[in-house]
Amino acid sequence: MAKTEVILTHNIVGLGGESDQVKVASGYARNYLIPQHLAIPVTQANKRQMESLKQRRAEREAHELNAMTELSKAFGKLVLVVKVKTGEDGKMFGTVTAGQIADELKKQFDIALDKRKIHLGEPLRQLGEHEVALNLHHDVKGTLKLRVESTTPIVAPTEAAVEEKPRTEKRGHRGDIVAPTTAELKAKSEKKPKAEKKAKSE
């Protein structure tokens, strides 16, 4: 593939910044970079613009450094909440990614941050508090406090069933048939002869 050299007039991620002289595919330069005014061909006349491009680059980088420094301070005061779905056991369905964090920053705080500046190491798989490293600028690092919460309602654990106490029958309830006790039977047997003796004397 044929290559050509161009001078960048704007910062292009992964390629270079203003005033950088880079080699790119000829078709990329001809069909995109030059028509979009992102680069100019390498000529003696264009090389004389290098100083002004360097000055523009220095101003842009200084502005970015100040902006990212202020943003880093702001992140120190924020707590980003990300809601996720979980099962009844509290385990998450899926993970929390850098892209989701970037989306929530925009939604909750109107902060536009490239997800590539968010360094997770690996996607988050646990509920709770997390600290996420931010690479805001090559001279500015930051930390974002993140809380992952479940949208699934918490079900309270069921209480152990209360053991049923053995029923104790109470004697003498109305309508109950109560068997006479031994003492009652003995008392009746003693009263009977006295009644018979009284009848004979009459």
Rounded to an integer, the average pLDDT of 123-151 is: 91
Q: Which fold has domain 73-150?
A: Ribosomal Protein L9; domain 2 (3.10.430)
Output the CA angle 152-157-162, nearest 5 degrees. 155
Q: What is the pLDDT of residues 55-94, one digit of tens each?
A: 999 999 999 999 999 999 999 899 999 998 888 777 888 8
What tens digit of pLDDT does each residue of 17-49 get?
A: 988 999 999 999 999 999 999 999 998 888 888
**Quick one: pLDDT at residue 160?**
45
Angle at 98 between CA 116 and CA 136, to 5 degrees: 40
Take residue 52 and report the two structure tokens written for it: 């002004």
CATH superfamily of 3-48: Ribosomal protein L9, N-terminal domain (3.40.5.10)
What is the per-residue pLDDT across 2-19, written as a single tens digit (0 to 9) for each? 889 999 999 998 899 988
Under a CB-based contact definition with an 8 Å cutoff, are residues 57 and 18 in contact?
Answer: yes
For the chain, give every domain's residue range: 3-48, 73-150
Residues in CB range of 61: below 8 A, 6 or more apart: 17
Q: Is the pLDDT of residue 193 over 70?
A: no
Give how far Cα 179 sits from Cα of 74, 86, 90, 173, 185, Å: 87, 63, 60, 13, 10
What would the two tokens of residue 191 be? 């009263």
Q: Return all residues near 34 (Cβ < 8 A) that are at least 6 apart.
A: 6, 40, 41
Q: Is the pLDDT of residue 134 over 90?
A: yes
Domains 3-48 and 73-150 are alike in CATH topology: no
* pTM of structure: 0.57
Question: 136-147 pLDDT, tens per residue?
Answer: 988 899 999 999
Mean pLDDT across 106-129 = 91
